[in-house]
């Protein structure tokens, strides 16, 4: 009888445990938790926002830690890798559709991941109320920065692949149809310009001195970067390659 009781108790515990099984780690911060309107400190929102910046490309040595000039006849790799570094593939004609992803920091996936993060951020922030610790001015500036970053991600895609799929504010999931056609070059340009113009007035002013006391804005997107990106886009479009 004791053995039977133990078996019955164990079965009940196992059955109850199955009904309360957690389908994801409890320490994972979901979108609903990150954008909880009751969170007046909004630390999770800020962390998500800064995560959008992480989708930006790294600097001039982003390919196998070599200067980008090493991919041309103007320079040589700074690291002695026997001519087998990723940057060497550009000089030696070994770039192909199957290798371009890794050779360019997976720009396609990285930039579309950034676009999706922006879309999630803008959608969730529609329900975020302003508070004394989370003023409306800060909310509006972050939304404007996110729109600028989305325009920048599209610019990075456009300069590599010409016309690319524009997804607008759509947020894809595992059930979404990803077979989106390419938009025309002009449609992409018009979208990028409209986003830059739309966010410009709300972007913060440039901070040229990190010791000015306004350190919270130093290194973040502002009116100056919006004008610079707009200028660079028009400059590229005026080149013989595009025009």
Give the pLDDT of residue 67.
Answer: 81
The answer to whether 187 touches 163, Cβ cutoff 8 Å, is: yes
Give the pLDDT of residue 82.
Answer: 57
C-alpha to C-alpha distance for 13 and 79, rounded to whole angstroms: 60
pTM of the predicted model as reported, rounded to 2 decimal places: 0.81
Within the chain, what is the greatest distance between any pair of CA atoms?
Answer: 89
- Specify whether the backbone of 71 is left (phi greater than 0), alpha (psi in -120 to 50) or beta: alpha
C-alpha to C-alpha distance for 203 and 97, rounded to whole angstroms: 38
Stretches where the chain sits below pLDDT 70 are 1-29, 39-41, 78-85, 208-216
For residue 89, the tally of other CB atoms under 10 A from its CB is 19
CA dihedral 38, 44, 49, 54 (to 10 degrees): -170
Give the pLDDT of residue 33.
Answer: 72
Residue whose tokens read 């192909």:
96
Give the pLDDT of residue 5.
Answer: 62
> Residue 66: beta bridge partners?
63
The answer to whether 35 touches 127, Cβ cutoff 8 Å, is: yes
> Residue 63: beta bridge partners?
66
């Amino acid at each position: 009888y004791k053995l039977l009781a133990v078996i019955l108790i164990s079965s009940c515990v196992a059955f109850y445990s199955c009904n309360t099984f957690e389908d994801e780690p409890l320490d994972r911060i979901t979108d609903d938790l990150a954008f909880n309107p009751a969170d007046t400190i909004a630390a999770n929102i800020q962390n998500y926002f800064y995560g959008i910046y992480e989708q930006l490309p790294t600097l001039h040595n982003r390919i196998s830690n070599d200067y980008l000039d090493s991919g041309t006849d103007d320079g040589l790799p700074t690291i002695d890798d026997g001519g087998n570094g990723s940057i060497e593939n550009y000089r030696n004609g070994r770039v192909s559709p199957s290798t371009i992803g890794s050779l360019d920091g997976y720009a396609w996936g990285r930039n579309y991941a950034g676009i999706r993060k922006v879309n999630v951020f803008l959608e969730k922030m529609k329900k975020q109320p302003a508070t004394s610790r989370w003023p409306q001015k800060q909310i509006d500036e972050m939304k404007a920065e996110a729109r600028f970053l989305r325009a920048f991600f599209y610019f990075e895609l456009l300069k590599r692949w010409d016309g690319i799929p524009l997804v607008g504010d759509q947020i894809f999931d595992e059930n979404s149809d990803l077979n989106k056609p390419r938009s025309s070059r002009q449609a992409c340009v018009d979208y990028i310009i409209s986003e830059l113009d739309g966010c410009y007035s709300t972007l913060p002013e440039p901070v040229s001195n990190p010791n000015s006391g306004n350190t919270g804005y130093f290194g973040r997107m502002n009116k100056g970067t919006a004008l610079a990106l707009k200028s660079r886009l028009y400059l590229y479009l005026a080149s013989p390659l595009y025009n």
